[in-house]
Amino acid sequence: MSHPSSEFAVRNPILPGATLGVLGSGQLGRMFAIAARRMGYRVHVLSPDSDTPTGQVADVEVRADYLDLDAVASFARGVSVVTFEFENVPAETAAAAERHAPVRPGFHVLHTTQNRLREKTFLRDAGFPVTPFSPVRAPGDLERAVAARGLPAVLKTADWGYDGKGQKTLRTPADVAQHGPAFAGAEAILESFIDFECEVSVIVARGLDGQSVAYGPLWNEHRNHILDLTTSPAALDPKLAAEALEIALGVCRRLELVGVLCVEMFVGRDGRLMINELAPRPHNSGHYTIDACVTCQFAQQVRSVCGLPLGSPRQHTPAAMANLLGDVWSPGPPRWDAALAFDQVNLHLYGKLAPRPGRKMGHLTAMADTPAAARERAVAARAALLATGS
């Protein structure tokens, strides 16, 4: 359904030369800012930190706590639209910004997706396939949830979780007794453990006029709960791939999203798709689009929040993305020259000052004639970073 305000915004888009505001200052904001500046926009960023990945490429970097609502209001008054690069923006922050500038995606999308229990409940009630789950809110709920779901199962905090943080796999009653108390006192969710064949993601951009474009499905591989490799196109049965696209587009319509959304899905051993998580922003699995697609996910975010027509998502070559975590630095300085000696490999570093194990510091994108060859090239180029020699 099209709202009058949306129709007005489409007729009066935010054009290049305007200033865009970003809440959050990590690598996703950095790549958004680069895409926006390439299109002629100015970019302001607000976060509690300074000399950040986004701040290094923005026009203005504002250092303020997200709950400093006066600073947030002042920030919003100085921009034409506010977007965000992570979904855990406090509700008060989004509300304070929205009084002075459009916030896209809107607060209703943030509210749904920043809490795992609200997100899963929304998806289930809307008829989308999700992993079976039970809420854990009060004493005794965990035991009842385990009885309903069985073991193994995954216990997760409802709020503030990503990259495997805030979750434990429970395989035995002893695990329940050992790890359950750590989740007491806060809302949590118990999900059935899914024996899945693979995880895929679909990234959708949706404009103010309801136009949508999609990337994927993308084949994702994780290590220690952190995305390690993404290959595109995914080696999926065409019927299953079409179903994954249909699900992701349906979720965006139901959310009335304006912006970019990643829908992560498990592919079960029985061939069924189940939504694992939503991320209402560009996603790590979509970084390959910078090098391998006509319009990358970050340019789509700029276009969508500004009320402009979306770009073509067409992929012009198979590609694979390999994350570079802080672990790459632990043997010594990475051999950038060795990785870049590989044909059709591009390096993206995020400007983070201190490499730490598990911290996303950058990524490599490799292109090739086939997805399998691109993946092999990305893995080999990353391994070359660790090579020793003079």
Q: Any idea which residue has 């453990």 for tokens?
A: 193
Q: Is the peptide bond before 152 cis (omega within 30 degrees of 0)?
A: yes
Give kind and range of the element (H or E) at residue 135: strand 133-136
* Alpha-carbon distances, residue 385 vs 284, 335, 337, 361 (angstroms): 20, 4, 8, 13
Residue 126 maps to a domain: no
Please indicate, yes or no, whether residues 92 and 136 belong to a single structural domain of this protein: no
Please indicate, yes or no, whether residues 372 and 269 belong to a single structural domain of this protein: yes
Do residues 318 and 371 touch, judged by C-beta distance below 8 A?
yes
Do residues 78 and 48 touch, judged by C-beta distance below 8 A?
no
Residue 348 maps to a domain: yes
d(CA 216, CA 75): 35
Give the CATH number of the domain where residue 141 resides.
3.30.1490.20
Do residues 301 and 205 touch, judged by C-beta distance below 8 A?
yes
* Alpha-carbon distances, residue 195 vs 2, 130, 280 (angstroms): 40, 14, 26
Please indicate, yes or no, whether residues 149 and 243 belong to a single structural domain of this protein: no
pLDDT in tens for each of the 390 residues of the chain? 444 455 555 678 999 999 999 999 999 999 999 999 999 999 999 999 999 999 999 999 999 999 999 999 999 999 999 999 988 889 899 999 999 999 999 989 999 999 999 999 999 999 999 999 999 998 889 999 999 999 999 999 998 655 556 789 999 999 999 999 988 878 999 999 988 899 999 999 999 999 999 999 999 999 988 999 999 999 999 999 999 999 999 999 999 999 999 999 999 999 999 999 999 999 999 999 999 999 999 999 999 999 999 999 999 999 999 999 999 998 889 999 999 999 999 999 999 989 999 999 999 999 999 999 999 999 999 999 996 644
Give the CATH number of the domain where residue 219 resides.
3.30.470.20
Do residues 377 and 366 touch, judged by C-beta distance below 8 A?
yes
Which three-class secondary structure string do you get for 22-80? Answer: EECCCHHHHHHHHHHHHCCCEEEEEECCCCCCCCCCCCEEEECCCCCHHHHHHHHHCCC
Q: Which residues contact 68 (CB under 8 A, 6 or more apart)?
A: none
Please indicate, yes or no, whether residues 238 and 260 belong to a single structural domain of this protein: yes
Show which of 103, 121, 140 is a domain's final residue.
103
d(CA 383, CA 32): 28
Residue 115 maps to a domain: no
Host domain of residue 200 = 196-385
d(CA 9, CA 351): 34
Predicted model pTM: 0.93
Neighbours of 226 (CB within 10 A): 16
d(CA 93, CA 22): 12
Please indicate, yes or no, whether residues 227 and 269 belong to a single structural domain of this protein: yes
* Alpha-carbon distances, residue 310 vs 28, 72, 332 (angstroms): 19, 29, 43
